[in-house]
Amino acid sequence: MSFSKDASKNVKPFREGLFHVDEDKTGYLIGSRCNRCNLVFFPSRDICNNCFRDDQIKVLTLSKTGILHTFTTVYQSRPGLKVPYSIGFIDLKDGVRIFAPLFDVTAEELKIGMEMELMFRNMIGASDQQEETLVYGFKPVKRDF
């Protein structure tokens, strides 16, 4: 995966196995489902948290959209992080709830129940000159009416 404007940089996720990203910075989260219990997990797991078995676990691509369940806005943070920023829980159509940063939206614009879509961006504070580190997050779905 190498799609940086600077061809000498490698692009990597902040943690391997969480998501796949294409050159256009679109992608998907990687989860798993226990076909015995019909439970979906993120991050992906090798063993079901319910039945504690591994013979029915299947890796799956998770939905790219979901509904904002709840959120909070951070006004004081560690040095180097620009505040305010918002984080929240997104309920995906797959039946799993994802904790993630919320991008491209102010706290005043956020509403519980609004539709959100997955996006990827460079990790704040990553300073390696040879690598770009990507994180996942969600932004409001823009509707054209």
Query: What CATH number is associated with residue 116?
Result: 2.40.50.840
Model confidence band, residue 125 (pLDDT cutoffs 50, 70, 90): low
Classify residue 4: in a domain, yes or no. Answer: no
* pTM, two decimal places: 0.81
Residue 52 lies in a domain: yes
Confirm whether 134 is domain-assigned.
yes
Is residue 15 in some structural domain? yes
Question: Rounded to whole angstroms, what are the CA distances from 75 to 50, 60, 68, 71, 78?
Answer: 37, 36, 20, 13, 10
Residue 5 lies in a domain: no
Rg (CA), the chain: 17
Give a yes or no: residue 90 inside a domain. Answer: yes
Note whether 61 and 40 are within 8 A (CB): no
User: 33-83, pLDDT tens digit by residue?
Assistant: 999 999 999 999 999 999 999 999 999 999 999 999 999 999 998 887 889
For residue 101, being part of any structural domain is answered with: yes
Residue 4 has what pLDDT?
Answer: 39
Number of domains within the chain: 1
**How far is the CA of 102 from the CAs of 49, 58, 98, 110, in angstroms?**
28, 28, 11, 9
- Beta bridge partners, 23, equal none
Residue 44: which domain range? 10-140
